[in-house]
Amino acid sequence: MPETETLSLKDPSLLVDACLIGGEWSKSGAGSIEVNNPATGAIIARVPNAGTEETRRAIEAAHAAFPAWRAKTANERATLLKKLAALVTENQEDLARILTAEQGKSLAEARAEVGMSAAYVTWFAEEARRVYGDVVPSPWADRRILVTKEPVGVVAAITPWNFPSSMIARKLAPALAAGCPIVIKPATQTPLSGLVWGLLCERAGIPAGIVSVLTGSAKAIGGEMTGSALVKKITFTGSTEIGKLLMSQAAGTVKKVSMELGGNAPFIVFDDADLDRAVEGAMLAKYRNSGQTCICTNRLLVQDGIYDAFAERMAKAANALKVGNGTEEGVVQGPLIDHAAVEKVEAHIRDATAKGARVIAGGKRHALGGSFFEPTVLVDVVPGMAVAKEETFGPLAPIFRFRDEAEAIAMANDTEFGLACYVYTKDLGRTFRVSEALEYGMVGVNEGIITTEVAPFGGVKESGVGREGSYQGIEDYLNTKYVCVGGLGA
C-alpha cells in the first residue's frame, strides 16, 4: 500500500481535490482516483472519478453562463484575466510544488512552467482588446460591408500530463479572452495542477460556470465533450493517436478543433556550427522535463566532420546531469511519469543496439529505482531503428550522421510528424535554405529553447492543427461574421 505524502504549501487550500462544475465544488463520480508522486510513489491526493453526468452538467452550466460572459466588454474580461495572472504569480511557489509532486519535473522547471502559464494569461488579457474586424470597400453604392469576430461558444479542453499547468493556460486564456466559457479535463496523472485553475479563476472573480474543471474517466468525459451539440470547439494537447480519435468524434457535430499533437524533432548540426553552442542547445532541447516534451529533440543529425567531437561532448554533458527527486537542490532530471515510459525508452535502446548502435552515456534504469532513468546517448544510429520514426518521450539522445545538406533535410523530413526542429549553422544562406526546406511548424536556429507566448506554437502534418500563443492563438476561439448593410441609397 503506497504511503501518503502531505505537501508543504504556504496556502494548503491550493491543493484542490474536488471538481469545479458550474461554479460548485463537487466530489460526484464513481469513487476517486489516486494521485501519486512519480518520484516516491506516495499518494499525494485523491480526486473524483467524474464521468458523463458531471460533464453534461458542466457543459450546460457553461452554455447558460456564455451570454453574460460574451456581453462583457473586452476590457472587463481583460481585467479579470489580469487578476488571474496576478494570482498565478503570487502563488507561483506553491503551484510549482504541486506540479513537481504530481509530474516529477525539477522545481526550477516547474517554477518556469508556472511563470509561462502566467505569461499566457497576461498575453491574452492584452489580446482580448485587439479582436479587430474589418470595414471592406463596398462594390455597391447603397451597401456597406462589415466583418466582425464573435466568440465560438462553449469550449472543451483536454490536456496532457507533461505540462499540466501551461497547457491549460494556453487554452483557458484565449478562450476567456475571446468571450468563451471552457470545460477542462486535465490528464489523469496530473489533475491537481488543473483543478487549482478552477480555484484561481473563482478567486479572480470569473463568474460561476465560465470555467469548469473535471477529473475522471477520459473516455467518458471526452465522449460527452465531443458528442454534445452545446460544445462548439474541442482543443486538445496530447498524442497524435488520441488527437485523431477526438477529431473523428468531434466530426459528428462539425466542431472547430485545435490539435497540438506528437512530435519527432530533428536537431541538425552542420560542420560550420558553433560546437559549444550546439551541445548546449542539444542538452536543453533533449533533456528538458527528462525528455518528456513534445518539442524535445528525438533525433540528433550531425554532419560527418564534427560527429565524433559532438558525440563526446554530449556524453560528457549527459553524465553530468543530476538525477533525483525534483525537490532536491541541483536535480535537473526527475523521474519519468510512469513505468510504461521507462519501458518505451528501454525498448528504443534495445532496438537500436540490436541494430548496431552503441551506448556512450547512460543506457539503463537509474540506481534510484522507480521510474528514474540515466540520461542516455547513443551513437552509430541509423534510419530503420525505432528511434528514427517513433517519439521516445524520454531522456534518450540518438545521434545519426549525415554527409551534406540535402541528406540532412531528407532525413529530417522523413517522418509523419512536423512540430519543431532545430538547425545549428553559422552560414546565413544555409539558415534560410534549410529552414525553408524543413516540413515543421517551428524552427530553432542556433537555439534549443524556443517557446514563448508571443510566437505561434504548433505543427504541420500529423503534429496538429491550429496555433497557440501569439495573436493567432485567439483566432481559433472566434467565428467570422460578414454583415452586408443595404438599402442605404446612393
Ligand X SMILES: O=C[C@H](O)CS(=O)(=O)O
Ligand Y SMILES: NC(=O)c1ccc[n+]([C@@H]2O[C@H](COP(=O)([O-])OP(=O)(O)OC[C@H]3O[C@@H](n4cnc5c(N)ncnc54)[C@H](O)[C@@H]3O)[C@@H](O)[C@H]2O)c1
Number of H helices, E strands in the chain: 14, 20
Half-sphere exposure of 16 (CA within 13 A, CB side): 24
Supply the minimum distance, in Å, between the C-beta of residue 434 and ligand Y.
Answer: 22
Supply the minimum distance, in Å, between the C-beta of residue 64 and ligand Y.
Answer: 24
Characterize the bridge pairing of strands 182-185 and 211-213. parallel
451 binds, among ligand X, ligand Y, none (CB under 5 to 8 A by kind): ligand X
29 binds, among ligand Y, ligand X, none (CB under 5 to 8 A by kind): none
Q: Are 458 and 243 in contact, with CB atoms under 8 Å apart?
A: no
If binding is defined by CB under 6 A, does position 293 make contact with ligand X?
Answer: yes
14 binds, among ligand Y, ligand X, none (CB under 5 to 8 A by kind): none
If binding is defined by CB under 6 A, does position 91 make contact with ligand X?
Answer: no
Tell me the CA distances in angstroms from 327 to 41, 90, 366, one per residue in order.
14, 20, 17
Residue 486: Cβ-neighbour burial (10 angstroms; 0-12, 13-18, 19+):
exposed
**Which of 156, 210, 261, 294 is in the footprint of ligand X by CB under 6 A?**
294
Q: Are 479 and 179 in contact, with CB atoms under 8 Å apart?
A: no
464 binds, among ligand Y, ligand X, none (CB under 5 to 8 A by kind): ligand Y
Active-site residue (options: 54, 109, 260, 391): 260
**Which of 241, 235, 285, 306 is closest to 443 using CA atoms?**
285
- Name the one range near ligand X by CB under 6 A: 58-66, 242-250, 276-284, 290-298: 290-298
Tell me the CA distances in angstroms from 87 to 125, 173, 441, one per residue in order.
14, 14, 32
**Which of 36, 40, 52, 239 is in the footprint of ligand Y by CB under 6 A?**
239
DSSP run (H or E) holding 46: strand 43-48
Distance from C-alpha of 127 to C-alpha of 470, rounded to nearest angstrom? 9
C-alpha cell read off for 477: 476561439
**Which of 55, 62, 69, 66 is closest to 226 using CA atoms?**
55
Residue 239: Cβ-neighbour burial (10 angstroms; 0-12, 13-18, 19+):
middle
Name the residue nearer to ligand Y (CB basis): 190 or 425. Answer: 190
If binding is defined by CB under 6 A, does position 235 make contact with ligand X?
Answer: no
Distance from C-alpha of 51 to C-alpha of 49, rounded to nearest angstrom? 7
Name the residue nearer to ligand X (CB basis): 74 or 108. Answer: 108
473 binds, among ligand Y, ligand X, none (CB under 5 to 8 A by kind): none
Supply the minimum distance, in Å, between the C-beta of residue 462 and ligand Y.
Answer: 10
**Which of 89, 188, 353, 479 is in the footprint of ligand Y by CB under 6 A?**
188
**Which of 222, 291, 334, 444 is in the footprint of ligand Y by CB under 6 A?**
222
Supply the minimum distance, in Å, between the C-beta of residue 420 and ligand Y.
Answer: 9
Beta strand residue intervals within 325-365, DSSP E: 358-361
161 binds, among ligand Y, ligand X, none (CB under 5 to 8 A by kind): ligand Y
Q: Which of residues 290-329 bind ligand Y (CB under 6 A)?
A: 294
Q: Which of residues 110-169 bind ligand Y (CB under 6 A)?
A: 158-163, 167
Name the residue nearer to ligand Y (CB basis): 245 or 445. Answer: 245
If binding is defined by CB under 6 A, does position 162 make contact with ligand X?
Answer: yes
- Name the one range near ligand Y by CB under 6 A: 184-192, 351-359, 395-403, 479-487: 184-192
- Name the one range near ligand Y by CB under 6 A: 65-73, 99-107, 235-243, 476-484: 235-243
If binding is defined by CB under 6 A, does position 193 make contact with ligand Y?
Answer: no
- Name the one range near ligand Y by CB under 6 A: 22-30, 117-125, 175-183, 236-244: 236-244
**Which of 166, 105, 113, 108 is closest to 395 using CA atoms?**
105
Active site residue 260: yes
If binding is defined by CB under 6 A, does position 48 make contact with ligand Y?
Answer: no
If binding is defined by CB under 6 A, does position 235 make contact with ligand Y?
Answer: no
Name the residue nearer to ligand Y (CB basis): 151 or 160. Answer: 160
Distance from C-alpha of 252 to C-alpha of 37, rounded to nearest angstrom? 38
DSSP run (H or E) holding 47: strand 43-48
- Longest distance between any two alpha carbons in the chain, whole Å: 84
Distance from C-alpha of 231 to C-alpha of 252, rounded to nearest angstrom? 12
If binding is defined by CB under 6 A, does position 226 make contact with ligand X?
Answer: no
Distance from C-alpha of 425 to C-alpha of 47, rounded to nearest angstrom? 49
If binding is defined by CB under 6 A, does position 163 make contact with ligand X?
Answer: yes
Residues with catalytic annotation? 260
- Interacting residues toward ligand X by CB under 6 A: 162-163, 166, 293-295, 451
- Interacting residues toward ligand Y by CB under 6 A: 158-163, 167, 185, 187-188, 218-219, 222, 237-239, 242, 245, 260-263, 294, 391, 393, 419, 464
